Amino acid sequence: AARPFEQVPGERRGGWLNLYHFWQEGGLHNVHNIMARKFQRFGPIYREKLGVYESINIISPRDAATLFRSEGMMPERFSVPPWVAYRDYRNKPYGVLLKTGEAWRSDRLTLNKEVLSPRVVEGFVPLLSEVGEDFVRRARAQVQKSGRERWTADFSHELFRFALESVCHVLYGERLGLLQDFVDPEAQHFIDAVTLMFHTTSPMLYLPPALLRGLNARTWRDHVHAWDAIFTQADKCIQNVYRDLRLQRKGSREYGGILSSLLLQDKLPLDDIKASVTEMMAGGVDTTSVTLQWAMFELARSPGTQEQLRAEVLAAKRQAAGDRVKMLKSTPLLKAAIKETLRLHPVAVTLQRYTVQEVVLQDYRIPPKTLVQVGLYAMGRDPEVFPKPEQFSPERWLLPGSKHFKGLSFGFGPRQCLGRRIAELEMQLFLMHILENFKIETKRAVEVGTKFDLILLPDKPIYLTLRPL
Ligand code: HEM
Ligand code: 2DC
């Protein structure tokens, strides 16, 4: 018989004392390294109590498989307390991100049809490809302007705008024009608000919502302002589409974007549509842009791999006569390169689920309603799971053999990332266009680490050079 829950290794200190030590040790921006160290100290399973939240942490793909296979029809993850507190404070409805139970499931099924299903996803390709082409055009203009046949910069702000432009094009069927020289200050304000929202979440991550709402601390006020700005700007975009639709300004035959489809379908109440579309607009900025920054950094550091990818893309282009949908079907190495980027640089430090029944992990009996976290960052760098983990090698994803529960960057199952297909296509098409047009270079010696700001980010600016081929 499996061992009892009480025997799972870990620190026995009280939750508040742990939280205090965590703060003191500068844990706030270091969650990923602290976790990796705890797996080294305690082995592949350990328990932890931070504040009021107790969790079991696992690292092996086999345990992840056990956890996800028992998750049921309405999986629940750790519900980020300040995000819940904001919505309750302002009386805003939850979208799929924070809903639970049947309410989550019915919204999610309706959204899946318009955001994830293969039928509609193919229609995103021209929309996202167009934004990628505009990025190339802008980069060429910057090269011209420099007078030095290259463009060297920290691309993070360019990529934030690229990402918002991309997600808005598929959500609203409209261009914001963020890749022009003049950038709408409202759009820039939105981008800054999302970054601030993430940044102010992490210090409050382990405090209960009820406590937060009563708090008048600086971080909470900044957090509220950030969400206010996000909701206000998203609302403007949503209202525009809504009005155009009522006035029948759009041709009814062309694809008008995800929001139009949801409105025309009339299956979800307007408030629920708004809530989830707002979450997608906010969720679509930092996630893909940071991943693309890492991808370009890794490709700059591995010129051989970069050449292989370029060769694959150019061959696919010749074969498909430029048809992007076809090209995407014959670029496995490009897709693997994105998986490999997310292995080393995941957006989410962990995946989490509340167990619904007893599960056995590492031979310990874990009772129902326990919060279990899969240490995604630690798993990606564990030599037992990925041989020579420090090496960026996309081919590892193409080798025959077990990739079983290893590619978990977007989560798993019915609760996985709603924006997954948008994100993948956006990133694949962006890299295609860049590889077709530029060499990506960087100063070889620079090491860049990772910092936790709710999502994982580079700990210093990454300078890259684009050089026309
Ligand atoms: C949830 C990763 C981009 C919207 C998630 C989760 C992960 C994740 C790990 C939790 C999944 C789980 O618990 O199993 C990523 C990564 C991205 C990305 C790595 C890009 C590199 C996006 C984009 C959007 C988005 C572009 C919006 C279009 C969401 C939403 C949820 C979610 C709404 C919550 C879904 C639910 O609870 O039903 N994402 N994401 N994400 N993501 Fe993403
Ligand atoms: C943060 O301990 C660390 O995709 C916590 O697009 C556990 C946790 C819970 C939920 C995770 C979060 C972490 C990181 C950011 C994630 C989030 C679920 C969705 C969100 C992974 C790992 C993200 C970035 C969404 C955000 C949408 C939002 C802006 C409306």
User: What ipTM does this complex have?
Assistant: 0.99
Map the chain to HEC letters: CCECHHHCCECCCCHHHHHHHHHHCCHHHCHHHHHHHHHHHHCCEEEEEECCEEEEEECCHHHHHHHHHCCCCCCCCCCCHHHHHHHHHHCCCCCCCCCCHHHHHHHHHHHHHHHCCHHHHHHHHHHHHHHHHHHHHHHHHHHHHHCCCCEEEECHHHHHHHHHHHHHHHHHCCCCCCCCCCCCHHHHHHHHHHHHHHHHHHHHCCCCHHHHHCCCCHHHHHHHHHHHHHHHHHHHHHHHHHHHHHCCCCCCCCCCCHHHHHHHHCCCCHHHHHHHHHHHHHHCCHHHHHHHHHHHHHHHHCHHHHHHHHHHHHHHHHHHCCCHHHHHHCCHHHHHHHHHHHHHCCCCCCEEEECCCCEEECCEEECCCCEEEECHHHHHCCCCCCCCCCCCCHHHHCCCCCCCCCCCCCCCHHHCCCCHHHHHHHHHHHHHHHHHHEEEECCCCCCCCEEEECEEEECCCCEEEEEEC
Query: Tokens in use for 270?
Result: 């307007």
Query: Does residue 251 carry a pLDDT above 70?
Result: no
Cα 469 to Cα 345: distance, rounded to the nearest angstrom: 28
* 201 Cβ closer than 6 Å to some ligand 1 atom: no
Angle, alpha carbons 25-26-28 (nearest 5°): 125
Residue 354 identity (one-letter amino acid): Y
Is residue 165 within 8 A of residue 190, CB to CB? The reply is no
Ligand nearest the Cα of residue 354 is 1
Name which residue sits closest to atom 16 of ligand 2, judged by CA: 348
How many angstroms separate the alpha carbon of residue 337 from the centre of ligand 2? 23
Residue 181 pLDDT > 70, yes or no? Answer: yes
Q: What is the pLDDT of residue 170?
A: 98
pLDDT for position 252: 65
- Whether residue 209 has pLDDT greater than 80: no
Of the candidates 75, 57, 31, 35, the one whose C-alpha atom is nearest the C-alpha of residue 411 is 75
Mean pLDDT of the chain: 95
CA dihedral sign of residues 170, 171, 174, 180:
negative
Which ligand has an atom closest to residue 284 CA?
1
pLDDT 10s digits, 364-402: 999 999 999 999 999 999 999 999 999 999 999 999 877
Residue 25: pLDDT above 90?
no
**Which residue, by CA, sits nearest to atom 32 of ligand 1?**
417
Pocket around ligand 2 at a 6 A CB cut-off: 77-78, 80, 97, 205, 279, 282-283, 287, 347-350, 352, 454-455
pLDDT of residue 41: 95
Q: What is the pLDDT of residue 310?
A: 98
Tens of pLDDT, residues 403-422: 899 999 999 999 999 999 99
Q: Give residue 243's pLDDT.
A: 93
pLDDT at 21: 79
User: Is the pLDDT at 233 greater than 90, yes or no?
Assistant: yes
From CA 382, how far away is CA 38, in angstroms rounded?
A: 13
Mean pLDDT of 319-342: 97
Residue nearest to atom 36 of ligand 1 (CA): 97
Q: What is the 3-state secondary structure (H, E, C) of 410-447?
A: CCCHHHCCCCHHHHHHHHHHHHHHHHHHEEEECCCCCC
Pocket probe mutation, ligand 1, options 131, 287, 417, 421, max atoms within 8 Å of Cβ: 417
pLDDT in tens, 49-90: 888 889 999 999 999 999 999 999 999 999 999 999 999 999
| Each residue's pLDDT tens digit, 120-144 | 999 999 999 999 999 999 999 999 9
Quote the percentage of the chain above a pLDDT of 90: 87
Q: Are strands 53-58 and 371-374 parallel, antiparallel or unpaired?
A: parallel
Residue 279 is predicted with a pLDDT of 98
Mean pLDDT on 277-304: 98
In short, whether 349's Cβ falls inside 6 Å of ligand 1 is no
Over residues 434-460, mean pLDDT: 94
* pTM for this entry: 0.97
Average pLDDT, stretch 14-25?
Answer: 78
Give pLDDT, residue 184: 93
* Distance from the alpha carbon of residue 333 to the mean position of ligand 2, in angstroms: 28
Report whether residue 298 contacts ligand 1, using a CB cutoff of 6 Å.
no
CA-nearest residue, atom 34 of ligand 1: 97
Residue 207 has pLDDT above 70, yes or no: yes
Does the pLDDT at position 18 exceed 90? no
Q: CA 271, 421, 343, 282 torsion: positive or negative?
A: negative
Ligand 2 centre to CA of 45 (Å) is: 22
